[in-house]
Chains A and B, each alone.
Chain A
Amino acid sequence: MSAAIDMKPDASRELLRSPGLGQFRKTPFRLLRLPTTATAKQAVWQCDKALARARVGMSLPDPDPVPWLPPGDEIEIQEAAQTMESPLARIVEQLLWFDVIDDPDGGALHSALTNADGVALRAYVNLVREGAPMSHQLNQANLRLLMGFSALREVGPTIVAGQTAAQAAALAWTDRAGMSIVEDPHKAIRASGALLGNQSVWAWLLGEGVAKWGELLGSPAFAEHVKAKIAALGDELLGADDVEAVITALRTRLADLVVGETKIEMAQGRVGNVAHLSSLAGKSKIDAETWLVAFRPLKTQFQSELAELAPDAETGNGLVEDVAAYLDRVATLAARWRPLDEAQLLGLSALIDEAVGEAFGKLRGIPREKQLEQRFKEVIDKVGAVAHSPSIKERVKAYHERLADVQKAMCHYCGKRELEASSCASVSSQMETGREYFGNTTRIHYQVGARPVARCQRCATLHDFIRNVGSITFYTLAASIILFGLVHPPGWFKSISTGVGFVLVAFGVLAAYGAGFIGREIAAAKVTPKGEKKFGDYHTSTAVEGLRADGFVSMKYDFRSNAWELVNKHGVKARHGGGDGAEVLKTLFYIGLFVAAIALKVCARH
């Protein structure tokens, strides 16, 4: 025979694909109409008969216990027989089917099922039996699963019918963790005699079914029950030591059923149902590990949704803005996802964190000077806000701290580049700490303090330039005034005596000094980029703060390009006394010029 693939119409394919319904549709006990006590041999014989009948278009004479589900095809019938021949698989199927023999209400259940009698099924669901045998408890759980999956796929008898969704909402629904739950549907239904809307019905039934199963799987009484069933089967391939294997298989199967339905709902975009399903998983007593493994394949779908958020191309708004926009999108998605994964079984928060982590990585790659901008800090904060895990929030916090440290290590003037030790300016100060008197001489003790004003090389160069503008203005003006005083046309300034002339020239030099100063300020104003501190603005520096904190009052500021190096090399004193060689030479040169000029003038007189 061939294993040809049926091409069924769309709607029934969805029904056939439903793993939850498939459990009850394809179970050998239904397809082969077997009692739960059937032997493998009986199953094989029954299979031969079912196949022979199926091939000429006849079905088995016994009634279908779940008549609202599609019948099995040849392959499914064969698979069913084979399942019965493999003892472990068979026990699992058996426990997920209705044991109408040992359950005192089994007869009622059987006829309710074969007649698809919603009212009778509801009556069974509402039965409350104290100390009911395990088979009754299992039947209750299984019936809830069957009816829940049926309601989800909108097939089968409505066991709670005739109520609009609006009325249903009036029941004892509470909103817990973003999901609506009926606190005690039994009470609610009985009290109002009322019935629920479809969505609430399946969520309620499945929720209870899975919860009941979860409880059973953990109970010693159930383990005993499994043991008894294994013994009854009497297959040498399955023994009492396989109880755990059966329970594990059941646990995995239940998880797979729920996850399988979740996958369908997700593919159909029915997000609300996805949330319901994952949350009922979370509420069951089945361990997280089982669910995590079962839900794992779904993760890829979410992953691809997340991947779509990543920008394809740069927008031209700059990386920071791109990342900010990305984070906003991720935040929106995270908000949408949150109710889907309250129980954290889908691992969605880890996915979000991963995306956020990547964004964070991008941000860290941005050049330092950009990182110190306010906007950057805001975006970094966004990372912390969108992230789920405390460790990422910690990471953001730690990053802020480091940024603050870095800021301290940044150039005081521009605030954009890191300081460079060889380019720092310096402030220094002295403070009297005591005096000693030795007869006529007094020895005064000073404490000297100096600190670098953090500066980058560019600012140092800039400041050097500004200083040069000042000094060149001064020297050229001063030199020209002196020269002019000495060498002017003989007819000029006749009335002014030489002494007065000298005084005037001195004033001129003084004015040149002022001009130099003004020139410096003008240059500083012109060349210092907007938003940066000017060369003279050292009062707000950490260096001054530090010296003040140490008790120093008057500050001496040196903004030569290598001021701090000089301090380091020569000490604070040396700086005040000396200056570097070039400076001295320059000064000497101008003095020399001055002297030469006077000499010239005097010579000219005579």
Chain B
Amino acid sequence: MSTIDYGIDLGTTNSALARQEGRQQRLLPGLDGDPLLPSAIQVLASGEIVVGSRAKAMLDQDPANTTIEFKRLMGTGEKKRFPAAGREYTPEELSAEILKSLAERARAADGEAPRAAVITIPAMFQLPQCDATRRAAALAGIEHAPLLQEPIAAAIAHSGTGTVRDGSWLVYDLGGGTFDVSLVRCKDGRLQVIDHDGDNHLGGRDFDRVIARKATELVRESGKHGDFKRTDPKNEPHFAKIKVESERARLALSGADATTFSIPDLVEFSLNRDELEDLLQPMIERTTQLCVKLLKRNRVEAAELSGLVMVGGPTLTPCVAKQIHFDVGVEAKHYVDPMTIVARGAALFASTQRMPAGMRKKKVGAAIELQLEYEAMTTDPSPLIVGKVTSPVPPPPGLKITVQRDDGRFNAPLAPVQPNGAFAVDLQLETSQLNVFRVGAVDGMGNPLAVEPDTIKMLHGFSIARPPLSQSVGIMLANNTVHWYLRKGAVLPARQTMTHQTTKSIKRGQSGEAIHVPLCQGESARADRNKVIGVLHIHADKITRDLPEGSTVEVTLAVDESAQTTGRAYVPALDQWFEEVVRFDLETKPANEVGKALADQKDRLKKLEEMADDLEEEDARSVNEHKNDARIEEVEALLEEGDRDSIDLADQMVRMMSQELDSAESGGRKHRLAAELEELRHRASEVINADGEPGDKRQLATLLVEADKALARGDLDLVETKIDDIRTLNLTVMTRQPWFWEGYLGYLLKEAERLGLLDMTRKHFERGMQAIQKQNFHEVPGVCREIVQMFPSEERDRVSSAIRSDVK
């Protein structure tokens, strides 16, 4: 076997394993005959680990020792404790149990557990999550595990199984925990993922959550269980039951029109399909918005699409297809079984991936060993196969390579082996099918020799373009900006080298000191909005010489097809390489921080709304979208719920909102600056023409000319500087005017009253008022300054910055 052939869908709720056999995939079922393996694990008191449907069934009876949805914790430092056995497992150890169980299926069917398999991951998985997945594979004895993005796997299965479907498609994958949408296109059998988008925290479990929330509210209303806090340990079993029942009720409504949500002694209510659809509507709308955004970004009209492929269990909910059709304007269908399509695609992809040399099964006793290079899947009717004789070295003189198609209709001309062992053979393929070739060799005398490997398989008619990078990768610079190395959509594998300067010096051997180069992943221009996935260190105790500030450092980042990211720094001054990357777990934020971040976002949103008039139409629209953003309420509800998972989800949502606001803010920068300048031009001219001295007027005139010029040239940085200058000038002139200080003193008086500082500051205010009455205006600024000094320090900045806003 020269290609990997096994594909695994390691899902949040369900996992599956498929094997490519010729043009077909075979799903490997478990003992119960079901190809789906629920991603559930129970750890018994004996330490025995129960995996799959048996574990899932225990969810409501033994919630403490049963766990599901651990995929969502991959890459975090969080561990799951099983009290009965008294053991703790990391998310990757739990995932490894699932993988082992799947591998066991392969062993049962094929007699041997796979040493290599393609494993799928959500497209929005970040580096630590990918790393954790690889670790899980290694724990399960899968030595070689290329990772493949789930939507790509689905697209591959959609286009490559059975009939090849040409055209552009949307692949809509709504799973247990994640949503991904990809725009794919298939042209002449070549599959290409053009772009994709998604939400790492949206899936069936979130559907369950809204139902559970309704049930919880009813329990609270009934008052029988006190305030029924989720964080209260004694409620844990109740919540586990609610969760299980929520899913059951929801699944029931996919088939029936109404059902009863019932947990004895806790809560009971009836739920019909319409009610469910109302509850789900905002979430489904989030997915369709992403679809629309994706199409727009790629300038593709819905009418140009050949269709939309639905993937994942929740798409079996009837209203999903309806709403997609309504919002996106394209018919949504299941073309392949939505629950197993990802595993099928993974297997198909696996059949294009050749086994690493060291892992191939070797036929013993072959005289000649070859290294063969070719693409296992191609649309090329006359591909090339190139090889090298790896043993014996050098190859026997006169050695020639023979290749025959096993249908006997094609024999390649004898290919002479060059002295360095290399040879090349042009092949002819039977189109649109699997072609098997026999490889052989003849020595100088024409005697056949046994070679290894002696067969190759090539599938004609379908091939897959390299997967694109799902999130941009870059390094964080000292000024909190990001230098992007590889942008989202870049083709993998990809690599980029860039040069930077150090901003601090380190001395040789200074222990603990290092130059830090943080690697980050995301899409925001502000470094702190992205996730730091690791830090590349240049350690002082590794350098051979002192490294002064401003030294050149060449950083190279490389990402392979499996999203494996490596970083390396080269310091020319030292002629040294540094490769040590400290990996980070995904950060998990405490609830209060998320709450604070949310409050910040609400503030920004308010400011943006005020500015919306100045924004370009498009940005203004996006601001308005945020205004009615149901997500704010959702985040608040999640924070209320307070469990780790809800908080993570809230954090994710807040991050996403801030990013969208960032782009709304920066999108219309030119337009915004122009509007700002115009407004300032009027305001400042009025003040300065009335109260300014001739020098001020001249200054204003030159500044305005300069700002206009910069704007016309498009030098926005300069425009910003000039706007600042005009503002300062305006302010300086104002502060020379009596009315300004009168106004400011009045403002301070109000503030003092508000803060209850009136008694303390009364004398000062009296002095200020008197000075104004006597027209001793020069005394007033001093008085104001003294008053501000008496304010508590955290208020001081605010009230003195009010000088910036205009008091007139």
Q: Which residues of A contact B (CB under 8 A)?
A: 1-5, 7, 10, 13, 16-17, 40-41, 44-45, 48-49, 51-53, 55-58, 75, 78-79, 82, 85-86, 236-237, 242, 263-264, 267, 287-289, 292, 296-297, 300-301, 304, 347, 350, 353-354, 357, 389-391, 394-395, 397-399, 401-402
Shortest CB–CB separation between residue A1 and chain B, in angstroms? 7
Contacts of B706 in A (CB 8 A): 389-391
Contact A3 B466 (CB under 8 A): no
A58 contact set on B, CB distance < 8 A: 386, 422, 424
Look across to chain B and name the residue whose beta carbon is closest to the beta carbon of A238: B299
Residue contact A292 to B713, C-beta cutoff 8 Å: yes
**Chain B contact surface mostly:** mixed
Cross-chain contact B194 with A237 (CB below 8 angstroms): yes
The answer to whether B552 and A5 touch across the interface, beta carbons within 8 angstroms, is: no
Binary CB contact string for chain B from 530 to 569 against chain A (1 if under 8 A, 0 otherwise): 0000000000000000000010101010111100101010
CB distance from A282 to the nearest CB of B (A): 12
Number of interface residues of B (CB under 8 A): 76
Smallest Cβ-Cβ distance to A287: which chain B residue: B714
A85 near B465: Cβ-Cβ < 8 Å: yes
Partner of B371, one of A5, A16, A51, A56: A56
Q: Which residues of the partner chain A approach B375 to less than 8 Å between Cβ atoms?
A: 48, 51-52
Give the distance in Å from the alpha carbon of A347 to the alpha carbon of B577 in the complex: 34
Q: Which residues of A contact B575 (CB under 8 A)?
A: 10
Residues in chain B within 8 A of chain A (CB atoms): 168, 185, 187-188, 190, 192, 194, 298-300, 304, 371, 373-375, 378-380, 383-388, 420-422, 424, 463, 465-466, 479, 483, 491-495, 497, 499, 501, 503, 550, 552, 554, 556, 558-561, 564, 566, 568, 570, 572, 575, 577, 693-696, 698-699, 702-703, 705-706, 713-715, 717-718, 721-722, 725, 729
A48 touches B494 (CB 8 A): no
User: Contacts of A397 on B, CB cut-off 8 Å?
Assistant: 695, 698
Residues in A whose Cβ lies below 8 Å from that of B300? 237
Given contacts A51-B373, A391-B703, whether A354 and B721 have CB atoms under 8 Å apart is yes
9 interchain pairs, CB-CB under 8 A: A3-B492, A44-B465, A48-B378, A52-B373, A58-B422, A237-B300, A390-B702, A391-B699, A391-B702
Known: A82-B491, A292-B714, A397-B695. A4 touches B374 (CB 8 A): no
A390, B699: Cα distance in complex, Å: 8
User: Given the complex, which residues of B lie within 8 Å of A41, measured CB to CB?
Assistant: 188, 190, 379
Out of B384, B466, B499, which one reaches A78, CB within 8 Å?
A: B466
Is B717 a contact of A48 with CB atoms below 8 Å? Answer: no
**List of A residues within 8 angstroms of B495 by Cβ:** 3, 5, 75
Instruction: List B contacts of A292 (CB < 8 A).
Output: 713-715, 717
Q: Which chain A residue shows the least CB distance to B567?
A: A5
Q: A304 to B501, Cβ gap below 8 A?
A: yes
Closest chain B residue, CB of each to CB of A41: B188
7 pairs of A and B residues whose beta carbons are closest in the complex: A398-B695, A289-B714, A82-B491, A3-B493, A45-B380, A52-B373, A3-B558
Contacts of B386 in A (CB 8 A): 49, 52-53, 55-56, 58
**B168 / chain A contacts, CB cutoff of 8 Å:** 236
Interface residue from A10, A82, A399 paired with B465 (Cβ < 8 Å)? A82
Which residues in A have their C-beta under 8 angstroms from that of B570? 7
Report Cα–Cα, A389/B494, bound state, in Å.
45
Q: Known: A52-B373, A288-B713. Is A3-B190 also a contact (CB below 8 A)?
A: no
Given A56-B388, A57-B422, A3 and B559 contact (CB-CB distance below 8 Å): yes
Known: A304-B550, A391-B703. A5 touches B558 (CB 8 A): yes
Complex Cα–Cα for A45 and B378 (A): 8
Most interface-central of B190, B373, B379 (chain A CB within 10 A): B373
Is there contact, CB below 8 Å, between B693 and A17? Answer: no
How many Å lie between the Cα of A292 and that of B717 in the bound state? 10
Taken together as a complex, chains A and B put the C-alpha atoms of A207 and B300 apart, in Å, by 39
What is the minimal beta-carbon distance from A25 to any residue of chain B, in angstroms?
A: 14
Q: What's the count of A-B pairs with C-beta under 8 Å?
A: 168
Q: How far is the CA of A236 from the CA of B187 in the complex (A)?
A: 10
Name the A residues within 8 Å of B380 (CB-CB). Answer: 44-45, 48
Q: Distance in Å from the Cβ of B709 to the closest Cβ of chain A? A: 10
- Point out the residue from A55, A242, A347, A395 that lies within 8 Å of B717, measured CB to CB: A347
B721→A350 contact, CB < 8 A: yes
Known: A56-B422, A300-B479, A390-B705. 17 other contacts (CB 8 A): A2-B564, A7-B577, A17-B497, A41-B190, A44-B380, A45-B378, A52-B375, A75-B495, A78-B493, A236-B168, A287-B714, A297-B483, A391-B706, A391-B725, A394-B695, A398-B699, A401-B693
Give A180 to B258 CA distance when docked, in angstroms: 85
Q: Could you say which residues of chain B place their CB within 8 Å of the CB of A53?
A: 373, 384, 386, 424
Q: Which residue of B lies closest to A398 (CB)?
A: B695
A317 CB to closest chain B CB, in angstroms? 26
Chain A neighbourhood of B577, CB < 8 A = 7
Question: Which residue on chain B has the smallest CB distance to residue A14?
Answer: B572
B111 nearest CB across to chain A (Å)? 29
Which of A16, A51, A357, A402 is within 8 Å of B693, CB to CB? Answer: A402
Q: Given the complex, which residues of B lie within 8 Å of A13, measured CB to CB? A: 554
Closest to B550 in A: A304
Say which residue of A48, A49, A398 sits within 8 Å of B696 (CB atoms).
A398
Complex Cα–Cα for A79 and B560 (A): 12
What residues of A have a CB within 8 angstroms of the CB of B384 in the complex?
Answer: 48-49, 52-53
The residue in B187, B420, B503, B568 that gathers the most chain A C-beta atoms within 10 A of its C-beta is: B187
Check B493–A288 contact: CB distance below 8 A. no
Which residue of chain B lies nearest to A57 when distances are taken between CB atoms in the complex?
B422
| A288 lies within 8 A of B185 (CB) | no
Q: How far is the CA of A111 from the CA of B653 in the complex (A)?
A: 59
Whole-angstrom CA separation of A394 from B692 in the bound complex: 14
Contact B494 A79 (CB under 8 A): yes
Contacts of A297 in B (CB 8 A): 483
| Interfacial chain A residues near B503, Cβ < 8 Å | 304
Contact of B566 among A3, A57, A296, A389 (CB under 8 A): A3
Contacts of A16 in B (CB 8 A): 497
Q: Could you say which residues of chain A place their CB within 8 Å of the CB of B187?
A: 40
Q: In the docked arrangement, what's the CA distance between A519 and B190, Å?
A: 111
- For A10, the closest partner residue in chain B by CB is B572
From the candidates B304, B497, B698, name the one contacting A236 in the complex (CB within 8 A): B304
**Pairwise interchain contact A56-B491, C-beta atoms closer than 8 A:** no
Can you name the residue of chain A whose Cβ is closest to the Cβ of B420?
A57
Pair B383/A3 contact, Cβ less than 8 Å: no
Q: Which of B463, B493, B714 contacts A75, CB < 8 Å? A: B493
| B304 neighbours in A (Cβ, 8 Å) | 236
Contact (Cβ within 8 A) A79 B491: yes
Q: Closest residue to A236 on the B side, CB-wise?
A: B304
Give which listed residue, B388, B463, B695, contacts A44 with CB less than 8 A: B463
Closest to B698 in A: A394
A398 touches B698 (CB 8 A): yes
A45 to B387, CA, bound (A): 17
B493 neighbours in A (Cβ, 8 Å)? 1-3, 75, 78
Q: Smallest Cβ distance from B681 to chain A, in angstroms?
A: 14
Q: Is the beta-carbon distance between B194 and A56 smaller than 8 angstroms?
A: no
Report how far A517 CA is from B650 CA in the complex, Å. Answer: 88
Chain B residues with CB below 8 A from A4, complex form: 558, 566
Q: Closest residue to A394 on the B side, CB-wise? A: B699
Contacts of B699 in A (CB 8 A): 391, 394-395, 398
- Please measure, in the bound complex, the distance between the C-alpha atom of A352 and the C-alpha atom of B385, giving whole angstroms: 62
Query: Which residues of the other chain, B, contact A288 by a CB distance below 8 angstroms?
Result: 713-715
Given contacts A3-B494, A51-B373, contact A85 B501 (CB under 8 A): no
Q: CB distance A52 to B374 under 8 Å?
A: yes
A347 CB to nearest chain B CB (Å): 7
Pick the most buried of B299, B378, B568: most chain A CB atoms within 10 A of its CB: B299
Chain B residues whose CB sits within 8 angstroms of the CB of A236 once the complex forms: 168, 304
When distances are taken between beta carbons in the complex, the residues of chain A under 8 Å from B463 are 44
Tell me which residues across on chain A come within 8 A of B479, comparing CB atoms. 300
Shortest Cβ gap from B332 to chain A (Å): 22
C-alpha gap A287/B715 in the complex (Å): 11
Q: Known contacts A79-B491, A394-B702; is A350 also within 8 Å of B717 by CB?
A: yes
Interchain CB contact under 8 A, B373 and A55: yes
